[in-house]
Amino acid sequence: MTSIAQLLDAPVTPACDPGLATPTWDFDALPTYGPGASVADVVPAATTNARSRPGQLPIAYQRMTNDELHARIAAAKASLGDRVVILGHYYQRDEIVAYADFVGDSFQLAGAALTRPDAEAIVFCGVHFMAETADILAREEQTVILPNLAAGCSMADMADEDSVEAAWAELAQVYRFDPDETVGPDWFERHPGGKLPVVPVTYMNSSAALKAFCGRHGGIVCTSSNARTVLEWAFARGERVLFFPDQHLGRNTAKAMGVPLAAMPMWNPRKPLGGNDAEALRDARVILWHGFCSVHKRFTTAQIAAAREAHPGVQVVVHPECPMAVVDAADAAGSTELIRQFVADAEPGSTIAIGTEINMVNRLAAQHPDKTIFCLDPVVCPCSTMYRIHPGYLAWTLESLAAGEVVNEIQVDPDVARHARTALERMLAAAPKPLTGTPSTSTTSTSSTTGGPR
């Protein structure tokens, strides 16, 4: 199978940005997310969930050949043995996934880490918010490492703590509640049948600070696989929901539950009252934050029409971070895990067009040679922030660990972690679905667990 890096090196390959073929460390100090789908998204200056410092890959690792890097990763991983667990997100490069003990989505990987409580270090090959979540759920003695600290998520950074706090204060005036009141973990038990004016719901793709905000205000976390269950939980406890940061997941989920579009106003944090009038907000059921995924917003109904014309009988499956029109035009929509299962369950000989990140699509195509599988977007465009985890960073962090030095550790403030854990545990209690991270090189299976939180 040709890796995305090899595809980008080929001069004839159409890519969304030619800069993707440039070594990732050339962009680590820039105030943007670098070349790729999210190149236009500038990292917010005061964000709490963006890069904590520029990437600092030593020059020796920048100069190594791919063969040298892979030999060193393999040697360091072997010498560390069970002391380390490596997690690889579905959207990672194949060169990284090859060394992952578990491969899955962010929620599955957080659960997978909990099955290795004896590992001293969790190396999370994903993006910043995922490593934060792993740190929140891990044992206190465990160290969580993000190989490249510049691997953020442009969607997560579209909702920063200050903007959400400001929105909350405005909503408090409209709905007449105390914005500073903390809704403790037992509030709902002490107020049976009681409803909050607004329940904050944050997507897993958000900073620990926003998960903590939800924990403090009677809110909850959701993932793309349990968003409906979580919204049902929230509607049972509140008059309406403030959903951030991804407008599309919120809209697609609520629409499927029968919430009319007119009851889903958008909240633009740059405008007073989010760009709404107070009357419209009073009738709202779901207030949608003005955020989106730069990768999934590339998918269009025109691409679906083209796929149907070129491949009669094609099945189209997309991620719910795609715009509503795309989800409506697809045959199925769901989380990365649902997409993986959709492909696995398809009959041999099927043709499937997929609307999600290209590393995952290409891997599915390689795993199912008896089916024709392709990405709806004809242009090679990986998640540019996930792509920041170049093998050089993995070699550096593993070799440092083997030498007794921890680099690029992610540590969530204990008070933030405590409240964030409240929101995560509400999600785990609300979601009947077990965590099912896919073991990669390991034969250990993951299991349903709330883990051993600190």
Residues that bind ligand SF4 (CB under 6 A): 38, 91, 127, 153-155, 205, 293-295, 357, 383, 385-386
Question: Which residues carry a binding-site annotation?
Answer: 89, 106, 153, 203-205, 224, 293, 319-321, 336, 383
In three-state secondary structure terms, 222 is strand
432: preceding bond cis by omega (within 30 degrees): no
In three-state secondary structure terms, 35 is coil
Beta carbon nearer to ligand SF4, 303 or 356: 356
* CA 427 – CA 450 distance, rounded (Å): 10
Beta carbon nearer to ligand SF4, 111 or 238: 111
Shortest Cβ 414–ligand SF4 spacing (Å): 26
Length of the chain: 454
Shortest Cβ 136–ligand SF4 spacing (Å): 18
Beta carbon nearer to ligand SF4, 247 or 294: 294
Cβ atoms within 10 Å of 188's Cβ, excluding its own = 18
Residue 345 CA neighbour count, 13 Å, CB half:
8
Q: What are phi and psi of 62, to 5 degrees?
A: -65, -30
Closest CA to 383 of 354, 353, 359: 359
Beta carbon nearer to ligand SF4, 80 or 330: 330
Cβ atoms within 10 Å of 63's Cβ, excluding its own = 9
As given in the structure block, the two tokens for residue 118 are: 């004896």
Beta carbon nearer to ligand SF4, 90 or 213: 90
* CA 207 – CA 262 distance, rounded (Å): 29
For residue 215, the 8-state DSSP code is H
As given in the structure block, the two tokens for residue 124 are: 């999370």
Contacts of 315 (CB under 8 A, 6+ apart): 331, 332, 342, 346, 350, 351, 352, 353
* CA 48 – CA 63 distance, rounded (Å): 32
Alpha helices in 115-160 (DSSP H): 128-137
Shortest Cβ 295–ligand SF4 spacing (Å): 4
Shortest Cβ 118–ligand SF4 spacing (Å): 29
Beta carbon nearer to ligand SF4, 196 or 295: 295
Beta carbon nearer to ligand SF4, 335 or 422: 335
Shortest Cβ 294–ligand SF4 spacing (Å): 5
> Do 353 and 311 contact (CB within 8 A), yes or no?
yes
Shortest Cβ 293–ligand SF4 spacing (Å): 3
Cβ atoms within 10 Å of 266's Cβ, excluding its own = 15
Shortest Cβ 135–ligand SF4 spacing (Å): 17
Closest CA to 219 of 192, 196, 248: 196
Question: Which residues carry a binding-site annotation for [4Fe-4S] cluster?
Answer: 153, 293, 383
Beta carbon nearer to ligand SF4, 219 or 320: 320
Residue 409 identity: E
Shortest Cβ 143–ligand SF4 spacing (Å): 22
> Kind of pairing, strands 220-222 and 143-145?
unpaired
